[in-house]
Structure 1
Amino acid sequence: MEGAPVTAQPITTSRLPSLTGLRFIAAALVFAVHGASTGVFKDQAVAADYFTFFGNAGAVGVSFFFLLSGFVLTWSARTGDSARRFWRRRFFKIVPNHVVTFAAALVLMSLVSAQIAFPQTLANLFLLHAWLPDVSYVETANTVSWSLSVEMLFYLAFPLLIRLVNKVRPNRLWYGAAGAAALVLVLPVIAQHLLPGTPHYSFLPVSWTQVWFVYVFPLSRLLEFLLGMFMARILLTGRWPGLGLLPAGLLAVAAYLLPVFVTFNQLYNYAAVTVVPLALLIPAAAAADVRGRRTWLSTRTFVWLGEISFAFYLVHSLVLTYGHRIFGSQPNIFGQPTGPAWGAPAGLAFLAGCFAVSVLLAWGLYALLERPAMRRWSRPARAASGARAGVAADA
């Protein structure tokens, strides 16, 4: 039955293709919000409607990624694995793509004569910029890399956090998850009442300091990572109540649409409104894979798109920003230089073209850099050579 628990006993880990497919949905949401900020629509009503519907898409996608990181790393944690080996794998998963797209951003900035600020750019390269409550540190080079700065904290903390989470008794895991979710809900309250609300950031009715604390500050986002870890342990220990993928998906869609029709303080839209539905969606999709249920997310196409989603995330903003600049230069809604505005059909065609180009570039980056780097360097030379010898013996 769809609503039956996965199992009454702890389960063994398995591949989770539906979660891989969901990764691309999240990356596409981030693309949508950056498409909304490019200023491609001449009709202000069309631009406003587009931004109303997709304005919070990026925050939802990023929150999903942070939750998913905690879930997947806990799900795939290896008995006897050392912190050094874990950090090595994560380093070669993240850093090669980051360095290449960082260099590409600098080249593109030079071509359009954009100013390159030294301390901000250096902090971006070493993925330290999310720790600094200065918007100029985030909005430099490949701007989406701020989330990698957050992820680096997750990876550094994971060997300690997994020990702590594993010590929580199975019958208390839901209390841990509820506590982490409650703290995420409290963050906007803290920012709203304890941090300065002016000057306002861009056209938003909140300050950058408030936005940074809720949305960018790595310690704040660590709560979502921890929540994802608890949800993985809940499923692994047979404590998942059996919420199906369809109702969990509908709940997540409803939470996404809620700010479209109901006005919230912007600080609540970054994670608080959707964190619980997203935290339920991830184990619901994983449970479907554990049961062996084939979903549309686990099809070959979506799994492939999910595999290239990290590369897609890193290239898409560069494609949108500098692809638009090819057609000329004028300020966008944020006052930043961008390309011209068009009618709705032409604007949508441009966004569709950028989406396709981003997929192609992501495919190349994944096939030529990300996957080879992981295969060659993510394990020590002795372990890698032993694995290759084992494969040859089996053959």
Structure 2
Amino acid sequence: MSQRKRFTELDSMRGLAALIVVFYHYTVYYDEKFGHEQWGQIDLFTFGHYGVQLFFIISGFVIYMSLMKVKSVSDFAIKRSIRLYPAYMFSVALTFLIVSLASAESLRTTFPEAMVNLTMLQDFIPTVKNVDGVYWTLRVEMTFYVIMAILLSMGLAKKTMSIAIIWLAASAVIQLANTVLATDMTAFIEKYSMSNYSQMFIIGMMFYGIWQNGNHKKYFYMIGLAIGYDFIFEGVTNGLFSILFVILFQLILMNRMQWLNSRILLFFGAISYPLYLVHQNIGYVIIYKMESAGFLNISYILVPFLASVLIAYGIHQYIEKPSQSVLLSMHKDRREGYLKHPLVKK
């Protein structure tokens, strides 16, 4: 399989996943949580939350690829922090401010909770509320990073198949234990071990193996096991969407999805992270204010959408890109300075 430095189609897919999740939150999920005044149930986006699965599969591929390029655990952790925290911290502050000013009581968090949210560790603390509901996925992502960092520190990161088999088996044991015993402890372990989502990351990792080493059967067997796991523990619909995403991913690796490289989709791919971070609660505030003012037509959903896109673009252009450029340069200079130090072994 031909090697490429970057799959821009994955950026577009990430953008599409973000758009699907945004419209799901503004229609179906908002209606379930608060009730739209006149919109009713919007069936078109009923399955929009499955876009998160696609995020996790892409993350499994991209993060595992990144892991193969770093020199140390600290290098991996610093680069991940530089990628995630600037946009995230600004989004936390902005969301907290807007929700507080809007007096949206059901969405509000306390100032101490917001301070904890700045660490991105709040979802590991049961008593602390997320500033925005979508932040729960960051706990799952961070758990994946920790697992990968541990494997890197042990020199096992390149044991792709062994990692996948052991991880999926352990996840199955955790899921079975929670099904059979159904105690608070088993539920706690299931949640914080991310056993509900491990199969998604494993699929992404297998596609990295396919991209790197070719269409070896072992990778497809493992993908098949992960999909089977999905059907057994997460349900038929979950499994069917996993099959769909696997097909799309394989087509991308085969260079059969070039149409995804459109400027519009690549734009949404570029802003997908900040868009995901800011769209939900800020959008809910806008929808509530509009409905209170009598703007009840479904077409008005474009208002919170465009507002979120504008905010996300601003964060991407003026927070995310400049901060990453500066911080990565500082990290590179610091690392090169360390390696040139006379006491460091060559």
The answer to whether TM tops 0.5 is yes
1:73-222 equivalences under 5 Å are 73-79=63-69, 81-113=71-103, 114=105, 115-117=108-110, 120-133=113-126, 137-138=128-129, 140-161=130-151, 163-168=155-160, 173=161, 177=164, 190-195=177-182, 217=192, 219-220=194-195, 221-222=197-198
Q: Do 1:315 and 1:362's aligned partners in 2 also have CA atoms closer than 8 Å?
A: yes
1:353-368 equivalences under 5 Å are 353-368=303-318
Change (3 A) 1:217 1:118: farther
| CA-CA distance at 1:70 after TM superposition | 1.7
**Counterpart-to-counterpart distance in 1, 2:116 and 2:131:** 10
Change (3 A) 1:166 1:317: same
Q: What letter matches 1:219 in structure 2?
A: M
Q: What letter matches 2:13 in structure 1?
A: L
**Counterpart-to-counterpart distance in 1, 2:287 and 2:119:** 28
**Counterpart-to-counterpart distance in 1, 2:109 and 2:11:** 36
Spell out, residue by residue over 1:247-270, the C-alpha distance to the aligned partner (whole angstroms, 9 max, x if none): xxxxxxxx9xxxxxxxx99x8359
1:232 aligns with 2:204: no
The residue that corresponds to 2:253 in the other structure is 287
**Counterpart-to-counterpart distance in 1, 2:209 and 2:72:** 20
Change (3 A) 1:177 1:155: closer
SS, match of residue 15 in structure 1 = coil
Q: Do 1:89 and 1:379's aligned partners in 2 also have CA atoms closer than 8 Å?
A: no
| CA-CA distance at 1:126 after TM superposition | 1.7
Choose 70-79 or 217-226, whichever is displaced more: 217-226
Q: Do 1:131 and 1:218's aligned partners in 2 also have CA atoms closer than 8 Å?
A: no
The residue that corresponds to 2:264 in the other structure is 301
**Counterpart-to-counterpart distance in 2, 1:179 and 1:356:** 44
Change (3 A) 1:191 1:42: farther
Pick aligned residue for 1:376 from 326, 339, 346: 326
| TM-score, length-scaled by structure 2 | 0.75
Calculate percent identity across the aligned residue pairs: 24
| CA-CA distance at 1:16 after TM superposition | 0.2
**Counterpart-to-counterpart distance in 2, 1:233 and 1:222:** 17
SS, match of residue 30 in structure 2 = coil
| CA-CA distance at 1:24 after TM superposition | 1.0
Pick aligned residue for 2:19 from 28, 31, 34: 28
Structure 2 residues without counterparts, runs of 5 or longer = 220-226, 337-346
Count of matched residue pairs: 319
Spell out, residue by residue over 1:193-222, the C-alpha distance to the aligned partner (whole angstroms, 9 max, x if none): 43369xxxxxxxxxxx96x876x6353244
Change (3 A) 1:89 1:281: farther
Q: What letter matches 2:283 in structure 1?
A: L
1:238-277 equivalences under 5 Å are 238-239=214-215, 268=234, 272-274=238-240, 276-277=242-243
Spell out, residue by residue over 1:18-52, the C-alpha distance to the aligned partner (whole angstroms, 9 max, x if none): 111100111112112211222364457x41x53xx
**Counterpart-to-counterpart distance in 2, 1:381 and 1:359:** 30
Structure 1 residues without counterparts, runs of 5 or longer = 1-5, 198-208, 244-254, 256-263, 330-338, 387-395
| TM-score, length-scaled by structure 1 | 0.67
1:317 aligns with 2:277: no
The residue that corresponds to 1:246 in the other structure is none
**Counterpart-to-counterpart distance in 2, 1:218 and 1:120:** 23
**Counterpart-to-counterpart distance in 1, 2:137 and 2:166:** 23
SS, match of residue 219 in structure 1 = coil
**Larger helix share, 1 or 2:** 2
Choose 274-283 or 88-97, whichever is displaced more: 274-283
Q: Do 2:95 and 2:278's aligned partners in 1 also have CA atoms closer than 8 Å?
A: no
| CA-CA distance at 1:383 after TM superposition | 3.4
